[in-house]
Amino acid sequence: MNIDADITGKLNEDEGVNALVGQKIYRDIAARQDDYPYVIFRRPESQAFDDSEGEVFEEKHTIYVDCVGSTPAQAKAVAKAVRAALAESDFDYQGQMGGWAEDYTGYEDTFTVIRQVYEIWGLED
């Protein structure tokens, strides 16, 4: 499994997500931060668990999926589509989902970010 490729591929292929953001799905940072709506995903943490011989038998990866819109309604629509796409995925690993909304106001514009947090367990390639 390759989490980055799996998430990017699933979101790019999903009709609901694609209808809202097109191909504006980014790893770590958006190409243009004022071209709403878009999705950014990050992996701030990965943790490996090994046995008494030092062999890794499990990994836990924390993934942030930020759904960014020019309005709260737009960000919520993107977040809903992303959540549905990932919930319907046929990935060979399991995870749990949660999330919270954060509103940010910039000097020249206002935008909304809804962050979904996923903890994914499984061995990565």
Q: What is the mean pLDDT of residues 5-27?
A: 92
Residue 57: left (phi > 0), alpha (psi -120 to 50), or beta?
alpha
The pTM (predicted TM-score) of the whole model is 0.80
Comparing 70-74, 78-82, 100-104, the range with the smallest average pLDDT is 100-104
- For 83, the token pair is 């959540």
Name which residue leads in pLDDT, 93 or 122: 122
Q: Which pLDDT band holds residue 95 (cuts at 50, 70, 90)?
A: low
Average pLDDT rounded to a whole number, residues 21-26: 93
pLDDT value for 107: 47
Could you tell me which residues are beta bridge partners of residue 110? 105
One-letter amino acid for residue 99 of the chain = G
Q: Give the pLDDT confidence score for residue 94 in this predicted structure.
A: 55
Q: What is the pLDDT of residues 26-79, one digit of tens each?
A: 998 888 777 899 999 998 888 888 888 888 888 888 888 999 998 888 988 999
% pLDDT > 90, the chain: 23
Top-level class of domain 3-121: alpha beta
Position 31 scores a pLDDT of: 80
CB contact burial 14-53 (16+ within 10 A = b; e otherwise)? bebbbebbeebbbeeebeeeeebbbbbbebeeeeeeeeee
